Amino acid sequence: MTAAVPPPSATTDPDVADAWAAPVAEGPLDATVDIPGSKSLTNRLLVLAALADGPGTLHGALRSRDADLMIEALRTLGVEISEGASPSTLHVRPAPLRGGVEVDTGLAGTVMRFLPPVAALADGPVRFDGDPAARVRPMLPVLAGLHGLGVRITGDGPELPTHLPFTVHGTGRVVGGAVDVDASASSQFVSGLLLAAARFERGLALRHIGTTLPSLPHIDMTVATLRDVGVRVDNSRDGIWEVAPGPIRARDVRVEPDLSNAAPFLAAALVAGGTVRVPGWPAATTQPGALVPGLLERMGATTAVVPGADGDVLEVTGTGEIHGLDVDLHAAGELAPTFAALAALAGSPTRLRGIAHLRGHETDRLAALAAEITRLGGQCEETRDGLVITPRPLHGGVFRTYADHRMATSGALLGLRVPGIRVEDVATTAKTLPGFDGMWERMLGGAPAGPGAVA
């Protein structure tokens, strides 16, 4: 089947004049989509490789804006990173970390939260800044944590900075020890400190002191990647992580596909009907995207894991009928935009709970989803910690993305069923999935859809 691309509607708003016309699905899907490497794993593994006791290699690494910002930042700090046979093979050669440099975080939470503890190990000041939208993302807990460990951090005023820009004054060593961190606004405050902690002289004993802790699978991912390189981590008590000082082992490692980036493609099978397959689905993973098949089943899909040429393939089949659901997405907030879009097309209401922290993501995602679904004629209300979505007939129009890659993929999902949706700045998907629009169109055309696939 082919994609029906609605004719562009005239717009006088220069910001949206070149918006992407989201294709409508004209019939059931039958597609296999190759999803590139996980952003969260790639950026953790790059940090650990940079701090390791020798050279190592990542295979199947993500190459996207967030990953490339991490690569550039580590190079700036003195680490040698070179491409192998393909851009997704990265050879990393650690080196003494140098200060007197500037790090561009873009809008990448993993760069702005994971690298300040690394910069504290550099031999001089490291200034951090990023996109305008990054300057409102919360930073204080990770900076206060470092400050508590004796690291000097300065911002524009006399106070400890709460946001970008700031400077971490590396001295080549961090004593380490015990620190309390309120990670209720982001799990990345914990992950960032844990990732570098084995290189602190006394290691780290981190206690979370907030009332709530989002994205626990991402913290478990941090612990698992640390243990994989020989770092001893004790997480036997809730809300406490102890990292022993010691070497970080260099290694060759393969990166799993990004299951959160797979979510909109798999969800497309529910919207359009038919089947979408994602190869390389891991049998066991710490990625929160592991929740996707179960959630899609609750919304009406059938799923199966079948053997493929290169590991397991996840198959999701839908009929076009979508059931609403009531779900706490605290553990997997980055899936919320996909499920909000599905909910707007469902046959019954949906409540997404436990995701207040999405207000500090790429944009205030709760406000952005409510505004954009409402703009298309839908009903989507913000609650204290989530969204209530009551399906109503939608109409075409511009879907704004607020520099948020997952807003863009949500707009694409709505556009599968609603003619005339135009996604503003679809290129923002390059944050984690460059070439998303081409992959989406190939999925509709029935051709193999991966970043390198030929249409």
Ligand X SMILES: C=C(OP(=O)(O)O)C(=O)O
Q: Rule CB under 6 A: which residues touch ligand X?
A: 108-110, 334, 361-362, 406, 432
Q: How far apart are CA 340 and CA 99, in angstroms?
A: 43
Residue nearer to ligand X on the CB measure, 334 or 441: 334
Do the annotations mark residue 188 as ligand-binding? yes
> Among ligand X, ligand S3P, none, what does residue 242 contact (CB within 5–8 Å per kind)?
none
335, amino acid identity: L
User: 129: which residues sit within 8 A by CB, 6+ positions away?
Assistant: 102, 103, 104, 105, 135, 164, 165
Q: How far apart are CA 92 and CA 138, in angstroms?
A: 30
Q: Is the peptide bond before 55 cis (omega within 30 degrees of 0)?
A: no
Sign of the CA dihedral with 324 first, then 380, 418, and 22 last: negative
Do the annotations mark residue 445 as ligand-binding? no
Helices and strands of the chain, counted as H and E runs: 12, 23
> Among ligand X, ligand S3P, none, what does residue 145 contact (CB within 5–8 Å per kind)?
none
Residue nearer to ligand X on the CB measure, 263 or 418: 263
Q: By CB under 6 A, is residue 187 in contact with ligand S3P?
A: yes
Interface residue with ligand S3P among 32, 42, 64, 186 (CB under 6 A) is 186
Buried b (16+ CB within 10 A) or exposed e, 358-380: bbbbbbbbbebbbebbeebebeb
| Residue list 387-446, contact with ligand S3P (CB under 6 A) | none
User: Measured from the CB of residue 401, what is the shortest distance to ligand X in angstroms?
Assistant: 13
C-alpha 120, offset from chain centre: 25
| Residue list 311-370, contact with ligand S3P (CB under 6 A) | 333-334, 357
Site string for ligand S3P, 279-318 (x = CB under 6 A): ----------------------------------------
C-alpha 99, offset from chain centre: 28
Q: By CB under 6 A, is residue 256 in contact with ligand S3P?
A: no
Classify residue 234 by its DSSP letter: E
User: Measured from the CB of residue 207, what is the shortest distance to ligand S3P in angstroms?
Assistant: 17
Task: Catalogue the active-site residues.
Answer: 334
Interface residue with ligand S3P among 63, 208, 218, 442 (CB under 6 A) is 218
Do the annotations mark residue 237 as ligand-binding? no
Q: How far apart are CA 227 and CA 223, in angstroms?
A: 6
283, amino acid identity: A
The annotated binding site for 3-phosphoshikimate is made up of 39-40, 44, 186-188, 215, 334, 361
Binding site for ligand S3P (CB under 6 A): 40, 109-110, 186-188, 191, 214-215, 218, 333-334, 357
